Amino acid sequence: MTHIQTSPGVSPPAGDRSVNKRNGPTGQAPPAGTTRPGRRENLAGYLFMSPWIAGFLFLIAGPMVFSLYLSFTEYNLFDAPRWIGLRNFTDMFADPRWRQSVKVTSWYVLIGTPVKLAAALAVAMLLAQKRWGQSFYRAAFYAPSLIGASVSAAIVWRALFSDGAVVDRTQKLFGVETGGWIGDPEMIIYALIALTVWQFGAPMVIFLAGLKQVPRELYEAAEVDGAGPWRRFFHITLPMISPVLFFNVLLETIHSFQIFGSAYILSNATCGPADATLVYTCYLYEQGFVNSRMGFASAMGWLLLVAVGLVTAVLFWSQKRWVHYEEGGR
């Protein structure tokens, strides 16, 4: 056994540790295991943390500072970055394709996230009833979440939503003629949203776990009082699961902002007919890695960070109004 920081061989037996080097209470013996010699404990902590500390410095904090710097420069990876002040940002607002990418992403987040969460909650409520074979259903509904983000799923989606394929034929049965969603700039975004909604498994499982914690007596009492299913849903279920609802809204919204792979593949690496699926990250990728405008792409990255930060802040601020935690709950 290799001895690193807190090698047991050299540490005195627990009972003798009454006099601590720094912050231990002197005089009486501390309860073993709760108060340790501070310096040794610190060393142990930092050694265990060292992979994360290195990762944070070199892969997260350092790059963030660097990208903030790059966002004020023109940089093509080969010549030295040239300081241009706020030009990347002003160019961005003047760029119609950038505005299109903001529009597409906002639409995707605003439609996709609520629909996905509604589907997740509906299926979770169905599965919350105790029935035979429940774990089978749970697994089967979860499965698309695992494959949904893959290139395979996007390829299948292209096949399902193209002209003359399943979706198109089904529509014709109802007398709707659109001729496939993939080639249609109006419709392709809904094919992308459908692909997202299809992956409702992860929030569903979280909802399910939340629903199981709602005390049954509440429903029984409400039923005795004559509350119908809608009232029970809005006055018991929703408030009781609001913490998990908050968690799901937060996570799904943040993820939706960052969609890339499925939008890229669904549109055959073109970001859609007439930029219809030009999501924000697609444009960031194109500017940075196809057009070698690293400064511009960094500026885009920072704006995304600010947008996600604002949305997170608003959600956290709003939770006071609608999220009921057990202590303060009803």
Partner 1 sequence: MSLLTAAVRRRGAGALAWHLGALAVLAVVLYPVVWTIGASFKPSADIIGAPELFPGDPVTDNYTRLTEGIADIPISTFFMNSAYIAVGSVIGVVLSCSLTAYAFAKVRFAGRNAMFAVMIGTLLLPYHVLIIPQYVLFQKLELINTFTPLLIGKYLATDAFFVFLMVQFMRGLPRELDEAARLDGCGHLRIYWSIVMPLCRPALITSAIFTFINAWNDFMGPLLYLNEPDNYTVSMGLKMFIDQDAVADYGGMIAMSLVALLPVLAFFTAFQRYLIDGMATSGLKG
Residues from 42 through 71 that contact partner 1 (CB under 8 A) = 42-46, 48-49, 51-52, 54-56, 58-60, 62-64, 66-67, 70
- Tokens at residue 165, please? 């394929």
The answer to whether the beta carbons of residues 167 and 151 sit under 8 Å apart is: no
Nearer to partner 1, 167 or 236 (CB): 167
Residues 6+ apart with CB under 8 A from 263: 192, 271, 272, 277, 279, 281, 282
- How would you label 197-226 residue by residue, b for 16+ Cβ within 10 Å and e otherwise? bbbbbbbbbbbbebbeeeeeebbeebeeee
- Is 5 a residue that touches partner 1 (CB under 8 A)? yes
Alpha-carbon distance of 51 to 230, in angstroms, equals 51
User: Could you say which residues in the range 108-127 bind partner 1, by CB under 8 A?
Assistant: 123, 126-127
Place of tokens 């599965």: 127
Chosen residue from 132, 174, 230, 317 binding partner 1 by CB under 8 A: 132
By CB under 8 A, tell whether 129 contacts partner 1: yes
Nearer to partner 1, 1 or 176 (CB): 1
CB atoms within 10 A of CB 101: 25
x/- track of binding to partner 1 for residues 291-330 (CB under 8 A): ---x--xx-xxx-xx--xx--x------------------
**Phi/psi zone of residue 227: left (φ > 0), alpha (ψ -120 to 50 degrees), beta?**
beta
At closest approach, how far in Å is the CB of 85 from partner 1? 18
Q: Which stretch binds partner 1 (CB under 8 A): 3-11, 95-103, 218-226, 228-236?
A: 3-11
CB of 231 to partner 1, least distance (A): 21
Closest CA to 181 of 279, 278, 272: 272
When asked if residue 107 is in the footprint of partner 1 (CB under 8 A), the reply is: no
CB of 312 to partner 1, least distance (A): 6
Site for partner 1 in 191-230 (CB under 8 A): 198, 202, 205-206, 208-210, 213
Of the candidate residues 41, 74, 91, 95, the single one contacting partner 1 (CB under 8 A): 41
Tell me, by CB under 8 A, how many residues bind partner 1.
111
7 binds partner 1 (CB under 8 A): yes
Q: How far apart are CA 135 and CA 127, in angstroms?
A: 9
Half-sphere exposure of residue 193: CA atoms within 13 angstroms, side-chain side: 22
Q: How far, in whole angstroms, is CA 33 from its chain's centroid?
A: 38
> Which residue(s) pair with 74 in the sheet?
82
Is 207 or 276 the residue whose CB approaches partner 1 more closely?
Answer: 207
Q: Does 247 bind partner 1 (CB under 8 A)?
A: yes
By the rule CB under 8 A, 274 interacts with partner 1: no
CB 223, min distance to partner 1, A = 16
Q: In 3-state terms, what secondary structure has residue 85?
A: coil
Is 76 an interacting residue with respect to partner 1 (CB under 8 A)? no
Question: Residue 131 interacts with partner 1 (CB under 8 A)?
Answer: yes
Per CB under 8 A, the segment of 93-101, 133-141, 217-225, 226-234 that binds partner 1 is 133-141
How deeply is 249 buried, as exposed, middle or buried, from its count of CB atoms within 10 A (0-12, 13-18, 19+)? buried
Could you tell me the sign of the dihedral formed by the alpha carbons of 169, 171, 172, 173, in that order? positive
**93 binding partner 1? (CB under 8 A):** no
Residue 19 near partner 1 by CB under 8 A: no
Could you say which of 104, 121, 153, 189 contacts partner 1 (CB under 8 A)?
Answer: 153
> Least distance from C-beta 233 to partner 1, angstroms?
17
